[in-house]
Amino acid sequence: MREPLDARTSLPTGAVAILFTDIEGSTALWEHDRTQMSQALRAHDVFARTSVESHRGTVVKMTGDGMHAVFDDSLDALAATVDLQLALADPIRTSGVALRVRCGLHAGMVERRDNDYFGSSVNRAARIMSAAHGGQVLISQAMVDSVREGLPAAFSLRDLGRVRLKDLSTPEHVYQVVHVDLRTEFPALRSLEATPNNLPQQATSFIGREKELAELKRLLPKTRLLTLTGSGGCGKTRLSLQVAADSLERFPDGVWLVELAPLADPTLVAQTVAGVLGLKEALDNPSVRTLTAHLKDQRLLLLLDNCEHLLDGCAALADTLLRQCPQVTMLASSREALRIGGEQAYRVPSLSLPDPKQADTAAAVMLFEAVQLFSARGQLARLDFQITDQNAASLASICRRLDGIPLAIELAAARVRSLSIEEIDRKLDQRFLLLTGGARTALPRQQTLRAALEWSHALLTDAEQSVFRRLSVFAGGFPLELAQEVASDEAIDKWQALDHLAALVDKSLVVVDTGDPPRYRMLETSRVYAMEQLVVVGERDRIASRHAHGFAALFEAAWAERWTARSADDSFARLKPELDNLRTALDWSSRNDPELEIGLAGAAAWLWLGSGLDAEGIAACERAISHLSTKTAPTIEARLLSELAQLGWYMLPLERALQALERAIALYREANDSVGLYLALARKAGFLASCGDIERARRALVEMEGLETGNWPLRLRLERLIAKTRVVVFAGTSEEFQAAHEERYHLASVLGSERDQLLARGNLVLWKVGIGQLEEAIRDGRLLVDQFRQHGIAGAYLGYLLSHVAMALALSGRLREALPLLREAAPALRAGAMVWRLLDLFALIALLRGRKDDAARLFGAGAAIFKRIGRKREIVLDRLHDVVSDQLRDAHAPEALAHLLRESEAMSEGEAVVAALHELASGD
């Protein structure tokens, strides 16, 4: 006999029997006597767990006043359920409260995620339970098939026929479990047929939306008009149908769907509703009066589906029914709200999407609704379709590029009949050609993605269409001010552009992301369509130019503000969301306005640097430099060259960086630009120190100090102190470093720049490693890593800090603790071309693992690269170098070590990096 399963560690997977239970009328029982009900529920929970676990089942979770359990064996599930009903049959055992529990059982495949179960089989079991009455046990045909041969003599099954469950999908053949000691007679099942309705049966299962369903079912009893709004294809209709099906019991006079999509005349809305309800209009009694007379005392739910093209007619009818029919509730779906008194609007979001920052494995992506929908519809298109670790990344990309829009995902999933997931992802650039072929019985606009967008576009006014098209030039969202700038012209002023933007938000074609200030964005599919329209009307270049000039002005203003503001944190936070717009503006200006590109690249360089995108910034600056001409203003050219050197601290060859800085310094001197000169000297001091020319580096710092005046901005003074600490880490004493650090940190504190304070403390951690204060470095460094993450400091900054905490751990012999930090740092180190600087650390790791020859090769390669490029090690790396050198001499005979070092001298930087990362990837 098997032992009971532990729900936390041994949840069964695959084909299982699923049990859902619920206490009928629990709300009334709680209101009658909370104390007594609380005692009764505790007894119920004990009986429920005992019944399940004594029959080798697992309680997945207690669900309020019920339970969800699973079993490997269907007969065990059946026996446990009957035992639970028998245990609850005597009210004395439940503190005098008669608990009538309804139970539903189904057998099928399940998906396990985070100690819970998901999938259509789970949903079906819950729906079967909801059709039961208190004391009744219902089971599916699948359960009957699995228990029929072994059914105990005390049990029998009563065939209740096929019933439509509230999932609106395929009907279920349901049976009642009959036992000699249990009640056998019950009213008709709580199926869709139990309440008058015209809800259509759906051919496919309802996927996800648990949060939205819960919110809407909470809102529906509190309002008379609940309007679901959202973009075309976002699933408003399907969600409203599911909410209605789940709410049948609240409306004894029926739930009625009124499909308004085919209607063109708003004056016919009332007549259409009357027709659905079977009411005939008399010549002397118009439809509205006929309706209100019929519905005056009716308690029913009206589903007004697709109201967006009939807003006036729908609003007028809804307002009349709200005032004259007090028990009528309306659930509407529309691209925009009806905007009448008493309306509760609810924007339907897109399906949840995989996080692009997380690994895309099959198990990870299946946690998200968009992927679950694609999987379910893909299996309908091709029986052998499945999500694997190999196609998971492409599938996640598809869902993200389609913004989690259900219609788009269903159309894409249909393509698995003939295309692989990877091919679908590649072809999404032509999404309006690819995403066609919806169900022939669907409305025309639901058969292709283009048709859905054309429907929405056609409902806009001419001015709204103009603004919609123009906003497509923005990438990744946009601020309000620039939206007004780009969308306005001689026919649409900025205030009108604001009104039209608000209308597009109302019509679900533009999304508002909450924040301070808020940002706006278009869903990518809408943006692609709008850009097509922009090209059709011949406005693309004109609007793209306006977009590029707008962002150039934004970055120029931020550049000037950066040196005069007390803190650059706010400016950086404001610009960071504009990275995609920066790329778009640079791409256009590179081809059409090189002078604009040159200015924009120089002004935006600090955004790349702060975002850890040094390589991208260097490439953009080098491309802009290739477009320099006699038209370029000297200070604009100088800034671009100076910022290129700043971005290339680790990545640029030393000669290239110094050449750029010398040219920038000369241009700044000619233009008498003291601020630009000051910044270029700061960068030069750092580069000179890194190649061992400490005397010239110190002279650059002295010249910087001489440029400072009484009203010199504090933010600029901080640049000199940062440069000073850079110089000291190559050739300073502890006293000199401590003084420089304290001065830098104090000024960052005065400025109120948390970012600069954190970066200063990071430099202190590096110094502590260099002077051997390893325990302090480990403690302070780990705390600082968390603070870097909280403050959004990423890329090279975070990677370098992680590597030095790992270095302190490795020097302390704590290799197992060091490796995870270094592996996390590796992508940033590689992107920032910093791996070669840490070859001594990788050599130490090899030594600690006993691979002394590999250690010698890595050590020798690092020494050769430093010598070849003329760079000097910082003090922290000097200490590491000495430690590894001593250990290698202890581990090798002198001749053998000399041979290995000579052998490694020929390794290129790329080969050395590959060897280092191979060492890192090896087992602990």
Please, which residues have CB within 8 angstroms of residue 369's CB and are 6 or more apart in sequence? 207, 208, 209, 351, 352, 404
Beta-bridge partner residues of 225: 330, 343
How far is Cα 402 from Cα 353, in angstroms, rounded to an integer? Answer: 10
How far is Cα 106 from Cα 16, in angstroms, rounded to an integer? Answer: 9
What is the per-residue pLDDT for 6?
A: 41
What is the per-residue pLDDT for 104?
A: 95
Beta-bridge partner residues of 14: 110
Determine which helix (DSSP H) or strand (DSSP E) holds 744, and give its type and residue range: helix 734-751
What is the per-residue pLDDT for 85?
A: 92
Q: Say if residues 59 and 67 touch (Cβ distance below 8 Å).
A: yes
Q: Say if residues 329 and 224 touch (Cβ distance below 8 Å).
A: yes
Beta-bridge partner residues of 195: none
Please state, in angstroms and as integers, the Cα–Cα distance from residue 65 to each residue in 279, 582, 865, following that order: 42, 54, 69
**pTM of the complete model beyond 0.75:** no
DSSP for residue 106? E
DSSP sequence for 249-317: GG-TT-EEEEE-TT---GGGHHHHHHHHTTPPPBTTB-HHHHHHHHHTT---EEEEE--GGGHHHHHHH
Q: Say if residues 512 and 440 touch (Cβ distance below 8 Å).
A: no
Structure tokens at 817: 């603790």
DSSP for residue 197? B
How far is Cα 340 from Cα 346, in angstroms, rounded to an integer? Answer: 14
HSE-up (13 A, CA, CB side) for residue 182? 25
HSE-up (13 A, CA, CB side) for residue 619? 9
How far is Cα 337 from Cα 321, in angstroms, rounded to an integer? Answer: 17
Helix, strand or coil for residue 181?
A: coil
Please state, in angstroms and as integers, the Cα–Cα distance from residue 492 to each residue in 305, 489, 857, following that order: 33, 5, 68
What is the per-residue pLDDT for 845?
A: 87
Q: Say if residues 704 and 668 touch (Cβ distance below 8 Å).
A: no
Beta-bridge partner residues of 227: 332, 345
Cβ count within 10 A of residue 733? 10
Q: Say if residues 486 and 469 touch (Cβ distance below 8 Å).
A: no
Please, which residues have CB within 8 angstroms of residue 733's CB and are 6 or more apart in sequence? none
How much is the CA Rg of the chain, to the nearest whole Å? 35
**Mean pLDDT, 10 residues at a time, the chain of 924 residues:** 39 82 86 84 91 92 88 94 90 85 90 72 87 92 89 88 74 88 83 78 76 91 94 86 88 91 85 86 67 91 92 94 95 93 92 85 88 88 88 91 85 85 85 61 54 80 93 91 92 92 87 81 85 92 95 92 71 84 95 96 90 87 96 96 90 88 96 94 91 90 91 87 89 86 91 88 90 92 91 82 91 89 82 75 87 87 82 82 89 88 82 79 66
HSE-up (13 A, CA, CB side) for residue 190? 26
How far is Cα 342 from Cα 323, in angstroms, rounded to an integer? Answer: 10
How far is Cα 678 from Cα 665, in angstroms, rounded to an integer? Answer: 9
How far is Cα 875 from Cα 881, in angstroms, rounded to an integer? Answer: 10
How far is Cα 270 from Cα 313, in angstroms, rounded to an integer? Answer: 8
